[in-house]
């Protein structure tokens, strides 16, 4: 008596991945952690000609805390980039997206470098064999932190904002008011980034606004474009 072969097992069809809108909270997390890191390291750092050695001795605990927080801020920023890019949908343009991604990653790399140098200065307090060279090492490290975080990273943040504002303006995925505000803040970073320490807080504040707006516009009651992750502007 022959037995019929078992019917083939049907595998469930693959499902398309979709970005959860709650992932936009990553931008809020980044804005908070990054602002804290900037306050702990950059805002409290003395200016040129000040006693950098005394600053390092009095702030080594806060610098260590900032070095611990910065990787988590960076991870949140990568999630924020992913959420924003997912919102482009079929309106994505390879030229502007390349500038958007490149400037965002360069900004993050610069901030990682600045924070790592500040953390290395803290570690050098007990490792240098020539105490007389310590002030010079601290001053060199301070200048690297300032140049990397304020001169270069802020410029990359401004390019990141300009490219994103241009995409929003050309596609209409986000309100024109937000695109215009993005251009103004980016211009302020490009021109006045070196004039005040507080200019570094412009970028996390902007990310916070964008993240909150994405969360609001992608709520259950929002009319969604099926080819875009953002709510329709109406």
| Confidence at residue 143, expressed as pLDDT on a 0 to 100 scale | 84
Least confident of 9-18, 90-99, 173-182: 9-18
Higher pLDDT, residue 95 or 1 = 95
| Confidence at residue 69, expressed as pLDDT on a 0 to 100 scale | 92
| Confidence at residue 132, expressed as pLDDT on a 0 to 100 scale | 54
For 39-53, what is each residue's pLDDT tens digit? 887 666 665 545 566
- Residue by residue, DSSP assigns the chain as ---PPPPPPPPPPP------GGGGHHHHHHHHHHHHHHIIIIITS--TTS-HHHHHHHHHHHHHHHHHHHHHHHHHHHHHHHHHHHTTGGG--HHHHHHHHHHHHHHHHHHHHHHHHHHHHHHGGGT-S-GGGHHHHHHHHHHHHHIIIIIIHHHHHHHHHHHHHHHHHHH-SS-HHHHHHHHHHHHHHHHHTTT-GGGGGHHHHHHHHHHHHHHHHTSTTS-B-TT-SSBP--
Q: Average pLDDT over the chain, rounded to whole?
A: 79
**Partners of 224 in beta bridges:** 231
Q: What is the average pLDDT across 45-62?
A: 65
Higher pLDDT, residue 65 or 138 = 65
| Confidence at residue 101, expressed as pLDDT on a 0 to 100 scale | 93
Above 80 in pLDDT, residue 222?
A: no
Q: Where are the domains of the chain?
A: 23-217
Above 90 in pLDDT, residue 185?
A: yes
Residue 148 backbone phi and psi in degrees, to 5: -70, -45
Cα-Cα-Cα-Cα dihedral of 77, 103, 139, 45, to 10°?
-50
| Confidence at residue 229, expressed as pLDDT on a 0 to 100 scale | 57
| Confidence at residue 123, expressed as pLDDT on a 0 to 100 scale | 75
């Amino acid at each position: 008596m022959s037995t019929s072969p078992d019917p083939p097992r049907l595998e469930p069809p693959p499902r398309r991945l979709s970005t959860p809108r709650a992932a936009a909270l990553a931008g809020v997390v980044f804005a908070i952690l990054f602002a804290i890191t900037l306050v702990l390291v950059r805002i409290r750092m003395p200016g040129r000609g000040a006693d950098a050695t005394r600053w390092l001795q009095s702030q080594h605990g806060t610098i260590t805390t900032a070095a611990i927080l910065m990787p988590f801020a960076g991870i949140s920023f990568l999630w924020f980039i992913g959420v924003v890019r997912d919102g482009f949908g079929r309106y994505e343009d390879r030229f502007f997206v390349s500038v958007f991604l490149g400037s965002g990653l360069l900004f993050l790399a610069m901030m990682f470098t600045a924070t790592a140098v500040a953390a290395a200065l803290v570690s050098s307090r007990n490792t240098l064999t020539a105490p007389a060279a310590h002030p010079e090492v601290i001053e060199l490290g301070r200048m690297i932190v300032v140049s990397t975080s304020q001169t270069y990273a802020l410029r990359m943040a401004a390019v990141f904002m300009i490219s994103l504002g241009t995409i929003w303006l050309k596609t209409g995925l986000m309100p024109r008011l937000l695109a215009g505000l993005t251009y103004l803040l980016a211009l302020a970073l490009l021109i006045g980034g070196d004039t005040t320490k507080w200019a570094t807080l412009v970028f996390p504040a902007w990310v916070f606004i964008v993240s909150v707006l994405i969360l609001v516009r992608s709520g259950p009651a929002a009319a969604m474009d099926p080819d875009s992750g953002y709510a329709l502007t109406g």
